[in-house]
Structure 1
Amino acid sequence: MVMIYTVGHISGAHFNPAVTITLTVLRRFPLWVMLPYIAAQLLGSILASATLAGILDVTPKDYFGTVPVGSNGQSLMMEIIITFLLMFVICGVTTDKRAVNELGGMAVGMTILLNVLVAGPVSGASMNPARSLGPAIVKHNYQGIWVYILGPIIGALLGAGVYSLTRYTDKPLHEIAKSSSFLKKMSRNSP
């Protein structure tokens, strides 16, 4: 959340190759920038992982990457689901001009927090191929790595696809529901 607010106006605030790929597919991110962007995301993860490994005495038991706790299938499904939720929220708060963008970082940050609380014990809650690849490369631990590449990409594409289906109009809510008695009543009661 902090990084979204700090560099969102510079980088577009995504540090996740699954998000980059999905935004490119949606034509909200230029194709020619996608590969350098993903390379930078991966390099950032590798440098951060190397820094941690250099500062701390990281034993195999203390591995800070993501590996499946249960089966690869369980972790894959969990990564698809939580990345779906993350990308659905990202689309809602960043790609829809009707959204209140000032709270976008908080919405994304809270989604990540909730996903980690729910999925962390099962899959490690990566939601980000770079987040998993960096530690794997630095510590040479590739156990189930395909789960953390494929799952987030599938989940992000599905999340964006479903959001696109639900965003059937560019009209604001008050125009969509003009005939709603609830909205009329609320507008009469507002100061």
Structure 2
Amino acid sequence: MNKALKPCVAEAIATFAFCFIGAASIINNAGLVGIAIAHGCMMAVLISALGHISGGHNNPAVTFGAWVGGKISGQMAGAYVVSQLIGASVAGFLLLQVFPESAWKPVNLGTPGLGQGVTMGTGILVETVLTFFLVLVVYGTGIDEKGTWKTIGGFGIGLTIMCDILMGGPLTGASMNPARTFGPALAAGYWDNHIVYWIGPLAGGALAGLVYGRFLIKH
């Protein structure tokens, strides 16, 4: 039990921190570049600090991709996802206490949403592609034993998140992470197009798991 508990706690803490800082940057109106930097840098730091304990998933899409690629058991994957959602939810409700309603209400507590004129289908496609890039980098720098985990793992993943947000932020908010969307959505009661942020990231994570975990990786 203790063996499973420690990585789950690490996943909960890291996902909490990522969602708290990321959503706060949106509430604070940091701008697209500022939001990208906040998300990317925070994830890079968290992976560097806690990645050796849990693998640094901090994202149900990454965990799902790792499971599809055969790199984590179904039981542990489920425990990871629950831990991530708990951490994200705590972050969401804490943000309600930190910011006045006048600050968080206009941006739905930093919950990602579709841009003007973006359909659900387009949103799913964008989230799928962006998450595929992200999970592919996670595989190459963190999951693959021949990758660069101890050197640039956190940096590479954080930089990918920055680039994805700069591209997809105006379209979908570039969530790439169901927990990142779920936590603020739960606290704010904002569920518009929520399914987009599960279908897209999980599809992208699964595709990366198949491509890298089942084909590109060297056994």
TM superposition score normalised by structure 1? 0.83
Tell me the residue number matched to 1:46: 89
Q: Give the distance between the partners of 2:175 and 2:162, measured in 1 at CA.
A: 11
**Of the two, which has the highest radius of gyration?**
1
**Separation in structure 1 between the aligned mates of residue 209 and residue 65 of structure 2, nearest angstrom:** 7
How far apart, CA to CA, are the structure 1 residues paired with 2:107 and 2:65?
32
Offset of 1:162 from its aligned partner?
A: 2.1
In structure 1, the partner of 2:52 is 9
User: Counterparts of 1:101-112 in structure 2 under 5 Å?
Assistant: 101=149, 102-112=151-161
Q: 1:163 to 1:36 in 2, by over 3 A?
A: closer
Equivalent position of 1:167 in the other structure: 216
TM-score by length of 2: 0.73
Structure 1 unmatched runs, 5+:
171-191
- Residue 57 of structure 1: how far off its partner (Å): 1.3
Give the RMSD, CA atoms, in angstroms. 1.5
**1:145 match: secondary structure:** coil
Superposition map of 1:89-128 within 5 A: 89-101=137-149, 102-128=151-177
Residue 75 of structure 2 is aligned with which of 32, 38, 41? 32
Counterpart CA distance in 1 for 2:217 and 2:80 is 30
Distance apart, 1:99 and its partner CA: 2.0
2: CA distance, partners of 1:157 / 1:147: 15
User: Is residue 146 from structure 1 mapped to residue 189 from structure 2 by the alignment?
Assistant: no
Residues 3-57 of structure 1: CA distance to partner in whole angstroms, max 9, x if unpaired? 0001011121111011112212222112222222111100100101111111101
Q: Any gaps of 5 or more consecutive residues in structure 2? A: 1-43
Q: Where does structure 1 differ by over 6 angstroms across 4 or more consecutive aligned residues? A: none
For these two proteins, the number of residue pairs brought into alignment is: 170
2:99 equivalent to 1:56: yes
Asked whether the 8 Å contact 2:135–2:209 carries over to 1, the reply is yes
1:83 and 2:126 correspond:
no
CA distance in 2, matches of 1:34, 1:54: 31
